[in-house]
Structures are given as C-alpha cells and as structure tokens.
Structure 1
Amino acid sequence: MRAGRVLFLVLGTSILLTCSRKPESPRLVVFLVLDQCRPDVITRYEPLYRDGFRWLLDHSLTCTQVFHQHGYTATGPGHFTLSTGSYPGPAGILGNNWWSRTLRRTVYCVEDTQALLLGGEGPGRSYRNTSTPALGDWLQAQYPDAKVVSVAGKDRASIFLGGRRPDVCIWYNWDGHFVTSNYYADSIPDWLARFNSTSHIETYRDSMWTKSLPDSVYLKYARDDFFPGEVDSYRKDPYSPVFPIGFDHGDPPEKALKMIGGTPWLDRLTLQAAEAAIQGERLGADDSPDLLFLSLSGVDWMIHYFGPYSQEVMDSQIKLDKELGHFFRTLDTVVGLDRVLVVQTADHGGLPLPEYLSQVRGQAAGRINAPLRKAVTRALNEDLQRRTGIENLVTVEGPGLYIDHPRLEETTVPLEEIKDVIRSYYEKIPGIGRILFLEDLLAATPSDTLEWYLKHTMNEQGPDAWALEKRNWVWKYPFGTGHGSPYSYDRKVPLRWARSQFSRSEYAAEIHTIDLAPTLAAYLGVTPPDSVDGVVRDEIVSFLKGD
C-alpha cells in the first residue's frame, strides 16, 4: 500500500469537519452502494426527503470530489475496486464480461462452472475468478469473530463486495428468490429460506408503479414524463414511456420476476433481505465489528431505462427515501444506530439520455448504432480473411476487439497491418472517437489521462484494441442510456460517512475510490495489505474517530 496524507486545505480554504461528540467504535459497518448513482441522483431531490436520505445527508461527512481511477466503468470492476482498494484489470477483472483466449468464449466476471446455486435456479457464481483479498477478508484476519455479510440485487455486486469468504453472500436470481452458491455454504440460512418463502415476489406482477407526489412537483425537479430515448416496456404500442408502469397482462408470469429490476420494488426487496440478514445473523451483537455490504441494483436498471433526470428516477428516489428510513430504524432497533457507521457510495456514474443532452442542453451527443457496428465488424473480418485466409480473425466483446494471435502467427501478415485495418474500419463508425491498442494502454502514464484510466481495467490478456466512444455518446441503442467510459461523468461518484453522532460536513479534496477500503480498514484498526493500490486518508480516519 502506498503511503499518503492529504492536507485539510483546498485552494487555500480550510475544510470544515465537525463531529458533535467523540463516537464509540461501531459494532456494525453498513457499506451501501447505489448502482449507477451519480452524485446528483441523490442531491437533486434533497428538499423532498423526509426519511432515510434525510438522515444520511444530515449526519454525514460528504466527500464531494470522488472518482474511480479505472476507465471501463462497469458494475463488476466498480464493486471490485470499492471492496479491494485495487485496480480491477491487473487483478483479472476486465469488465462484466470479457473474451477468454484460453477458453475461446465470453466469460462472465463471477461465473463459476464448479459451483451450484442454492435457494433457487440459476448458473453457478462465486469469487473464484480472482484471488484478490477484499475488505471483509482483511477484517476477519484481524477480528476472527467478525461477521461479513453481502446482499445485492446483482450477483456480481454481492460477490465482489463480499470478497473471498464472507459468512453470507446472497443476490437476486431474477426468478423470485435470493440465492447463494455452494462456494459459500452447504445450504442457505434458515432466515433466508423463510424470507424467500414469505416474500411472494411473484405477486408484484399485479402491481402498478405510480407517482408518490403531485405532477407539479415532478415538473419542478425533473423533466417531462414523456421524453424520447426512454425505454418503454409497458403498453408500448404506441411508444409511450410514461407513468403508470406495470407488467403487461399478456406476458408470462416469470417475465415480471426478471423485469422487476426496472422498478423501485427490487431495491425494496433487497433492503428487506438485508434486514432479515441483520436479524438472522445477529449483526452488531458483540464488540467485534461486523460488516454488511449492501448494493441496490434497481437504481442502475431504472437509470438505464429512463435516464437520471427522468420522473421515474425521481420517484424511485422518493420511494427509496422511505425504504431507507425503514432500514435505518431496523438498524436502530436491532443494533442501535449510534453503534453503526454507514458508508454510502456508487460503483460508477452515468450519462443522461443523449436526446436530453442534445435537445435540452444543446450538447453534441448520440448513440453508437449497434446494427451498423455489427455490419462494420463483419466487413472488417471479411477484409482480414482476404488478407490472411483466416475466417473471423477478430472477436468483439463490449468495446474491445480481440485478435486471434495463434492463427495469425501461422500467416506472414504482420500484426501492425491487422491493427491498421481495425483502425480504418472502426474509426469510421459515428460516435467512435479513437481506437486504442493494448500495448499503448499498458504503457500509459498519468499524463495520458484517458489511457491512464483505461490501463487500470487491462492486463496482458485484455483486448488488443479498444473502441473509445466520443464524449456524450453511449453504446445503448436505440433506447436508454449507459456508462462504461473513462470520462468524468462515468467516474465521479458520491461518498458519505454517516453516523448519528456526526453533523453535516464536507470534504472537498479529491479522493479516489481505491482509497475507500484501506481508509475504512484503518479506521477499524485493520492494516490493509501492501498490495492495494489505494492509500489511507488519514484526515478522514481522524474525523471518524472524532480526533
């Protein structure tokens, strides 16, 4: 771990950090991640909060300049970095998915063909694709009696937060159950079996998502309900992405179990599962600090569908304010809120709908045409086949292009020629800014800026070429919005350290998400491994301790 200390001075102005009284060490740390939560997704609606978000904002140190340092800002790499303090690429996490040169197929970041799912149906999942120890592993090495529990909507979120061997690691299987795998346990806990049997998630297919507040309030804080570019999944003929939102009656019942992620109900269920875990695992019941990782995945899905400035996302935050309030009251009843530290952040940011940026803000923005890209890739491979005699020499996975080196080496065609052809085809696609090559990314220095961030999502097995989108362009086509770029709007995230003893404070110096896990570890009296890429922010530790 690199040593580091940041002064309490930014642009010559001291930062005010206040704590009402010196707090006792927490019995429970809640590490709360809101998936795809740009900082303004929370703060834009602050005047409307009355419950959970109100408590979180009023009792926290808010770090206002927080950035991921990896360039492929996806869910898997983001959650991995938050819990390990390490860059994802060198640890083997190249994205949510990547092309395996050894297996010659796409690999999902938490797939595990050796594991079996417990508690429901689905493919095996685990932490087996990386050996990097995470915060929970460090904690239990120092405090053997400490419990580590991870709960999320997405499997990759729960798994990467939980680390190597959490006591409990559960996620939603998109089929009506919260599940785990036999990598973690021989059977699901009794409390989880009860939760699954009494949640009746299938009944949500008859529910209707309606607004919590009068229309006039939404027009004040969000844009028009009907906006081009939104995904329309309910009564979509004609195109009408507006409230109310439900599930079409003609759809099979199991579709609602999958599509629930695009509503506020998934995050409600995830919080309820976390409450069951707190009570079932007796978290915070002794003086060994326990750790609850909690990732709310529905936020991400709804922003993908409707964009961060939509009335749907606004309403989801109003509803989440109430659900978080219930969750915090459960913490107060079971543990005592004065013995809990809540750390709230996000795995990545995101971009507004390109249509919003162009029509409302007058900015150049757009979508990379997926059918066009597919056609260009086909033409590229046909050209390469004429040159090399090899069919499908290049495989595409996400923004990455992988060259089949073993087959290429059987020819006399130089690699540089292949790269030139890739560049000539792909840089003609509207929305593609540059084609970057792996050897250049691995050699990048901080002065290279975007390449430097992308370097941290790469290793020697990474894609040979990377299609870097232009600023304000997204891969989502033809509807919705996305993330995944090295631009600041995708890398900037919120960070709050909240306790009931804290008064509202701000920290304006830049902090990196790789610093979060080592800083939290230091506060808990745990020494992070020397291998982590982040640093301990001593001034934040001092604030948390009330020094």
Structure 2
Amino acid sequence: MRLAPFALASLASVFSLTLAVPATAQERQAKDSRSAQVAPVAPAAAVPAGKPQLILAISVDQLSADLFAQYRQHFTGGLARLTSGAVFPQGFQSHAATETCPGHSTLLTGAHPARTGIIANNWYDPKLGRIVYCSEDERDPASSARKPVVSSWHLKVPTLGDLMKKANPAALNVAVAGKDRGAVMMSGHHADAAYWWGGDGFASYKERPISPAARAQNQATRKLIEGGAPALSAPQWCERVARAVPIKNFTIGTERFALQPGDFKTFGRTPRVDTATGELAVRLVDEMNLGRDANTDVLSVSFSATDYVGHAYGNQGVEMCIQLAQLDASVGKLMDALDKRGIDYVAVLSADHGAIDAPERLQLQGYENAQRIDPALTAEALSAAISHDTGITASGQLLHGAGSSGDIWLAPGLKPKQQKTVVEALLKRLAAHPQVEAAYSAEMLAKLPLPTGNPQDWTVLQRVRASFDPERSGQVLMMTRRGVVPGDPQPGYTATHGSPWDYDRRVPILFWRKGVAGFEQPNPVKTVDIAPTLAALIGLEQPEGTWDGQCLDIDGTQADTCRR
C-alpha cells in the first residue's frame, strides 16, 4: 500500500458577480452585427493525452433521472460541473430489481443482476431456512441478515477495480460509502480499502484494521454528533415544496434535519452522512496516495443520504430539496479536493435506482392510482390463501418474500408435484389481483435469453429476466402495477422503490474529465455501459462477453474515447 502523511486541506470557494448596465436596442443590434462578422470559432476542447490517474466513480443512492432533471437548474457545485461533461439523462438500471444492492452491482461490473448474482437486497436461502443479505457471508457463524459479517462473496463477476488489479497489481481499488453494500458492490473482491458508515463510525471488513484516515474521520464525525447541530437551511428555491402532508398520524414535508446531541441513529439518515463520506474519501486519497503515479487507481464513492431521505420523507418535499443542495456541495468539495492535489481524474456519476414519492402526496397532486399495496399480497397472507386453495401446508411459512415487486420463494421440503401445484395456484391468484401487473414462473424465465437493445423499449418480462438468477431467484416473480407502493407507512418510512417502472429504472449517467468536450446525449443508455466505457478510457482490454453493456464515446468531438 502506498502511504503518504495525512493531510486534509480546507476547501474554499470564490464567487464573483458582475453587474452590467443594460444596452439600448440599437447598441445591442450593432454589437450583434459586429460579432457575427468577426467572432472566431472557439477551438474544440483538447482530449487529455494518456490515461487518467484516477477514476472517481460516484453513486447517488436513489437519484432518479426525474429528480435530477427537476433540480438540475439549481446546482452550482459538483453536480453542476458534471453537467458540463458528457450527460446521458436517459440512463437505465434496465432490470426490474430496482434495489440498492442489485443496482450497485451493475455500476462497475458492466453486468446485469442476472449475471452478478445480486438479484435483490435479500433473498431466501432454503438450505439455511432464512433470508440472506446480499453482502453477507452467511458461512460465518457470527453472521445474520440483520447483523451480517460483510463480504463480497455473493458477487459472481469481477468489478472494474478487480480487473484493473488483475492487469496491474499496483493499481489501487478503494471504496467509501454510506452503506456496506454500496462499498462492497462497487469495489468487488479485491479492495485495498473499503469503508462504510456503520452506525457509530465508518467500519470495514471483519478483522481488517481501521486506518489512521478512517480513525481521524470517525473522531471528527463523532465530535459533530455528540455536540449536535442546528437545522439545515433551505435554499430559497426549496420553500415552494415546504408543505406538510398528512400520512396516518404524522406528517412529512417540513423536516430541516436538526441533530440532537448524541443522536447517532438520526445522523446516518441526514445529508450530513454524505458530507462525512466525502470527507473520508479525501482523507483516503491522501493516505493511500491515490492518483499520484502512472498507475490508474479507482475510488468508488457511494452517497446514501438521498435514499434515506427519500424513504423517510418521499422525494417531493423540502427534505429532498435540502438534501440535493447538500449533495451538490459534497460532490463539489470532493472534486475540488482532487483538483487542488493536481490529480488528472475522470469522474462518472450515476445511481443504483430511482424511486416514487409517497402515494398520499401523489394523490393530492392528482395521481389517483398511486396507492399502498394490499396486505393480501404479503407473504403471510398469500401463504394462508394458497394453503386454502391447494390444501398444501409447510412446517413453517409456505411462501417467503412477496409484499412488493420481486421474488416469492416456496418453503423447502415440498415435493415436486406440490411445488408445481403451489406455483400454478399462486400465479392464478396473482393474475386475478388488480394491483398485480404480471407474475412469472422461474421455469418460464429460465428459458429466455438475456435481453439486448434499447432498455427503454424492454417489456416487463425482459426487465424481470435481466434480474433473474436460477440459483437465487424465487419460484415466482411478481410485478405490481405502476404507482403501487409497498410497505405500511411509519415515521421514517413513507416511500420506496423496487418496481419495474421507469420512475425506479431511469437514472442519470454523467461523465466528466478536464478538457473533454461536453455534450447532451438523449439516446437511452444503461448503467452496464459504465464499466466498458471506463475500461476503454484506460486501455483495459477484456475478452468478448465480459460486459453486458457497451462503450460510450464520452468526448463531444471527432475523437472517440472508445478507440484510443
């Protein structure tokens, strides 16, 4: 490991405002005429020579393309800079399993969940008779789904960082995230360092020591939490969405994120956890000397607060507005820090999934079909109903999963004929429910090829196939109708994601590198295109079949970054 003395430089921003006296109409016309005659054509931006020293791969958990477009005009920090690069506003997490773990697994592997093996945040393991967490090593007796021993062993394919290290062991692969699954799925199997917010500080893999940089960040973060902090100010443009919306016996829409002294739990669900994540990323750049030699390194940073805020308050209130302003600043500070250190880096930003707002607020806005899921579609209720329909029972619960779009697993121990009977009865019952768009058997999905082509035009069946792994997926996959939101709303949980619909699938994909000409590209692209795009940029050749995606030319001139 390349180490350097720790130093975290303070970042300063300089703003200037120029006032001009308005010209008369005649003066403007004359000026425009002169400009049209003599104004030179601006030279195209020069494509940087050689490979970048660092890949900065940013994921913003739950940043939908719709949310990005809604607030794009207000960004002034890092998100604004990224919009000056190659902008693909029609990016797709093209699969149906629009959850954190599957989405993160696509970003730097170039593979759909059907190949990464990460079909959901959790899945039922019939051998263990319990739910398994996506970044858990259940082989360790100390591990459980709620308190997992964190591991990358469920990930079936290598990440970009893994491939870079295989080609050149001197390349460094580093990740920091608000969630363990964000760090694990972006860095993969061979991370030189991986940290995530663990509830009372940044944690890492079992038995891996916490480095001085992480200890310093934990000390600074704990000091902040123990002292508490006042409410965050809302930019003026956020005030229009600062309205209380009733949900059961509580409201959303007015939270400003005041932090009570010692409230570690709340801290992890506020914009401040993103600030700490970005700060630790900078500390790791210095500690590990990232981007300082001829070897291209990769730094993955997953900001999680947008997801926590979206779940707790929905995405159309003042809470999300404040969050995105804070995120814009956090990304800006991270990029400014890399600039100050003179590092030539390419940045990419995308998201693991989008989300839908709380249905109670959507209904106020005229979206009549937005609704909470019927409790009859939970695993408990379906188990009782299918046992009634078929007379088949299990020693435990008959069905596992359900309650939202996704997998339904049968209890272990059923005979093949019983399994067939249960699947047929379940498909029949789901097909008759008004909140269910479609339901498919694993047997049917296993016969289909992985979809190709434009992800915007994929059928629901194709989206589900891109998430299907015969080793881990359920015997039935249920997709709820558009606007159906799973879960019983509670304070801290009012909205979510996980459907096959575009509000969950569409995410922005932004690339930026100093000197590369920017552009806006409306063609729908996929998150699995990110890894092959970055691999081409650093000259990392891989055999055919490595990627489910394709390289994107991210320079807006005659130069082609896919052919260097």
1:484 aligns with 2:490: no
Q: 2:423 aligns with which of 413, 419, 423?
A: 419
Tell me, in whole angstroms, the C-alpha distance in 2 between the residues paired with 1:449 and 1:226.
Answer: 37
TM-score under structure 2 length normalisation:
0.82
Contact 1:262 1:302 in 2 (8 A): yes
Q: Using the alignment, how far apart are the partners of 2:304 and 2:337 within structure 1?
A: 21
2:438 to 434, 439, 460: 434
Name the CA shift for 1:169/1:310 in 2 (closer, same or farther; >3 Å): same
Partner of 2:33: none
Counterpart amino acid of residue 227 in structure 1:
V
- Counterpart of 1:63 in structure 2 is 88
2:220 counterpart (198, 210, 217): 198
Q: Distance in 1 between matches of 2:252 and 2:400?
A: 37
Q: CA deviation at 1:126?
A: 1.3
CA gap of 1:379–1:201, structure 2 versus 1, over 3 A, is farther
Alignment match of 2:243 (pick from 217, 225, 236): 225
| Post-superposition CA distance 1:364-401 (Å, at most 9, x none) | 21111447735523422542673467653322366322
Cα RMSD for the two superposed structures: 2.9
Q: Within 5 Å, give how 1:177-216 maps onto structure 2.
A: 177-182=201-206, 186-200=208-222, 203=225, 206-214=228-236
Q: Which residue of structure 2 lines up, in the alignment, with residue 467 of structure 1?
A: 478
1:457 to 2:472 alignment: no
3-state DSSP class of the match of 2:115?
coil
Contact 1:382 1:392 in 2 (8 A): no
Partner of 2:152: 127
- Contact 1:116 / 1:123 at 8 angstroms: preserved in 2? no
Instruction: Structure 2: give runs of 5+ residues left out of the alignment.
Output: 1-42, 452-456
Q: How many Å separate the matches in 1 of 2:135 and 2:533?
A: 26
Match in the other structure for 1:99? 124
Cα distance in structure 1, aligned partners of 2:546 and 2:218: 37
Structure 2 equivalent of residue 11 of structure 1 = none
Task: Indicate if the aligned counterparts of 1:30 and 1:340 stay in contact, CA closer than 8 A.
Answer: yes
Inter-CA distance 349–388: structure 2 relative to 1 (3 Å threshold): closer
How many residues in Structure 1 have an aligned counterpart in Structure 2? 503
Equivalent residues of 1:28, 1:290 under 8 A apart? yes
Partner of 1:396: 401
1:348 Cα shift? 1.0
Amino acid at match of 2:183: S
**Once the two structures are superposed, what CA deviation does each residue of 1:412-464 show, in whole Å capped at 9, x if it has no partner?**
x5544322322344456552333221112223465971111111212223211
Secondary structure, counterpart of 1:509 in structure 2: coil
What residue number does 2:539 align with? 525
Q: Percent identity?
A: 25
Displacement of 1:206: 2.5
What per-residue deviation string (whole Å, max 9, x for no partner) do you get for residues 502-538 of structure 1?
Answer: 3441122222211210121111100134343424326
Give the residue type in structure 2 aligned to 1:244.
Answer: R
CA distance in 2, matches of 1:205, 1:341: 37
My pick for the range that moved more, 191-200 or 376-385, is: 376-385
State whether residues 205 and 246 of structure 1, in contact with CA within 8 Å, keep that contact through their aligned partners in structure 2. Answer: no
> Aligned equivalents of 2:309 and 2:460: distance in 1?
28
Asked if the contact 1:369–1:478 (Cα under 8 Å) also holds between the matched residues in 2, the reply is no
Whole-Å separation in 1 of the counterparts to 2:141 and 2:165: 25
Which stretch of the first structure deviates more once superposed, 390-399 or 472-481? 390-399
Cα distance in 2 between the residues matched to 1:206 and 1:93: 38
* Whole-angstrom distance in 2 between the partners of 1:54 and 1:427: 45
* Distance in structure 1 (CA, Å) of the matches to 2:225 and 2:303: 21
| 1:433 counterpart letter in structure 2 | E
Q: Secondary structure at the match of 1:293?
A: strand
Q: Is 2:317 aligned against 1:303?
A: no
**Following TM superposition, by how much is the alpha carbon of 1:147 offset from its aligned partner in structure 2, in angstroms?**
0.9
Residues 86/244 of structure 1: CA separation in 2 closer, same or farther (3 Å cut): closer
CA contact (8 A) 2:390 2:425 kept: no
Q: Which residue of 2 aligns with 1:353?
A: 358
Query: What TM-score results when the alignment is normalised by the length of structure 1?
Result: 0.84
- Whether the aligned pair in 1 keeps the contact of 2:86 and 2:519 (CA below 8 Å) is yes
**C-alpha deviation, 1:46, in angstroms:** 3.1
Deviation at 1:114, TM superposition (A): 5.7
Equivalent pair of 1:436/1:465 in contact (CA under 8 Å): yes
In structure 2, do the counterparts of structure 1 residues 115 and 151 end up closer, same or farther at CA, with 3 Å as the change threshold? Answer: farther
Q: Is the contact made by 1:81 and 1:514 (CA closer than 8 Å) also made in structure 2?
A: yes
- List runs of 5+ in structure 1 lacking aligned partners: 1-17, 231-236
| CA pair 408-538 structure 1, distance change in 2 beyond 3 A | same
Show the counterpart of 1:52: 78
CA displacement at 1:282 relative to structure 2: 0.8
State how far apart, in whole Å, the 1-side matches of 2:399 and 2:147 are: 31
Maintained 8 Å contact 1:402/1:463 = yes
